[in-house]
Each structure stands twice: as structure tokens, then as C-alpha cells.
Amino acid sequence: MANDAEDVERLIHVTFPDSPAIPLSEQELVRIWALDMHWLSPELSSEIIESLCQTGWLIRSKDLLSPDPRISPNPPPLGWSPIVRRLKEPPSFIPKPSMVSKPNLKPKSDESQIQLSTSHEYPPDWAETNIKPMISWISKESGLTQKEVVRRAQRKRRALGPVTLWFSLSLVAREQGLEMSAIMELIGEPD
């Protein structure tokens, strides 16, 4: 049973790596699991989403899905892929006693949805302070909303693995045909 819960925690960690507070639509989850990760078929992805909602792992709100905020982060080992039978019949979510409930605040605008997270596992990134200006600039220059810029950057991070947010934002800018010298100016130089 512990392995089943661990598999679900890992799936959620990979699916919502940057901010579990930013919900995704069911179609986005299906696309990530079926097309981006090649783990499941679209039909099976929908079935698993329903199972995870019924057992409390995912919370459905206005056609958007987000993980329960009390789920412990559980990064998977290199080469991990989910075991389908564990996801089809997941155990009910039971928060660990040491986990403190985090309030789920609804953001009011695209800009308020941009959340920078810090981790004690990794050294601070020198370009981290310039992420919000990068998002704003990419949004303004490309015509995409800030939320869409962040979503595309997160998708790149999921696809590429351990890359920084500023690097994935740079890839989004490049994909949009923006001038990379401007991105370099926004990132700055290490101290």
C-alpha cells in the first residue's frame, strides 16, 4: 500500500513540479501523461484522473485539477515511470501527521500566479531574482499571457528534467523568435 501511495506522489510531483497551487485542466493532464511523457493512453489517463479525484489525491474545482496541498513532495528516481495498476486503483489520500495544511489562495491575475519556489536541496540560482521581469518581457514581446509563458516553461521543465526556470523561460523566448541578447540582459551575470 505504501508503494501505491508513493507512486501517486511521484506522479503528482512530476506533473506539478513547480507549483502545485497552479491548477491544470483535465485535457492538459491527459496531454502531459499521454503525449508528453508517453506513459498512458488518453483514455487511461482520463480514467486515472477520475480515480485520483475520487480518492482525494486530486481536487477538481471549476474544470481545473490540482493536487491536495498536503501531499508530500516525492521526486522520482532517474528512469522512473508509473505502474498503471497502482494508479488505476490508488489508495485513499491520507495526509501525513507532520504535514501542515497550506492555504489554497486563488490568484487574482496572471502576475499573481507566478510563484518562485526555493529549495534547500539546491544552491540558490543567481538568475532567480530576474525571473518575473523575464516572464513580463516575454509576455509583452510575444503577445502570450504571463500564465501561458509560465505554463510553456513548466512544460519544458517537465520534458527536459532538471533545468532551471530561467533556462526554460529562455527556451520559450527562443521558441517565440525573441531576441536572445535581450534575454541575456534580463538574466544578468553571476556575482
pLDDT digits (tens, 9 = 90+) for 128-139: 667 888 888 899
Those residues whose C-beta lies under 8 Å from the C-beta of residue 54, and which sit 6 or more positions away, are none
Residues 6 and 65 in one domain: yes
On whether both 130 and 163 belong to a single domain, the answer is yes
b/e sequence 95-127, b meaning 16+ C-beta within 10 Å: eeeeeeeeeeeeeeebeebbeeeeeeeeeebeb
pTM for the whole structure = 0.50
For the chain, percent of residues with pLDDT exceeding 70: 77
> For residue 43, what are the domain limits?
2-88
Mean pLDDT of the region 43-72: 88
What is the total count of domains within the chain? 2
Q: Is residue 11 part of a domain?
A: yes
What CATH number did the domain enclosing 30 receive?
A: 1.10.10
Q: Do 81 and 15 lie in a common domain?
A: yes
Q: 76 and 152 share a domain?
A: no
Backbone angles phi, psi at 181, to 5 degrees: -65, -35
